[in-house]
Amino acid sequence: MAEKLLSILSVKYFSFFLFDKYRRKLRLLSHNHLELQEGLTLYQSESPIMKDAMTSRRYIFEQDFASSRYIRGRKNPLFKYTLFISIPL
């Protein structure tokens, strides 16, 4: 799935999460990040950008994620690719 999504989306990195609305939990379904562990789960409240996208039911597009209000202060090598989008489906 990861290989197909790269060409479909025309992106360098991606991650897809499934959302359990009763538990307010996100579960990592597919990704191509080396540092992410399989089976990763997090609560919606732990990801402000995902929470905002899902609450507003609109995409969030950041052209410079490293300087956006969603940055949490930790250094991440993925931030050299500054474009970021979160799309609730």
With a cut of 90, say whether residue 5 has pLDDT above it.
Answer: no
Q: What pLDDT is stored for residue 25 in this prediction? A: 95
Q: What pLDDT is stored for residue 38 in this prediction? A: 83
pTM for the structure as a whole: 0.71
Beta-carbon contacts of residue 1 (< 8 Å; ≥ 6 apart): 30
Which 8-state DSSP code applies to residue 55?
A: H
Q: What pLDDT is stored for residue 89 in this prediction? A: 78
d(CA 41, CA 69): 23
d(CA 20, CA 41): 10
| 40-81 pLDDT tens trace | 999 999 988 899 999 999 988 888 877 788 877 666 665 666
Cα–Cα separations (whole angstroms), residue 33 to 24, 69, 70, 77: 23, 23, 19, 11
Q: Are strands 60-62 and 25-31 parallel, antiparallel or unpaired?
A: unpaired
- Domain boundaries defined on the chain: 18-86
Phi-psi region of 73 (alpha: psi -120 to 50; beta: other; left: phi over 0): left
Which 8-state DSSP code applies to residue 65?
A: G
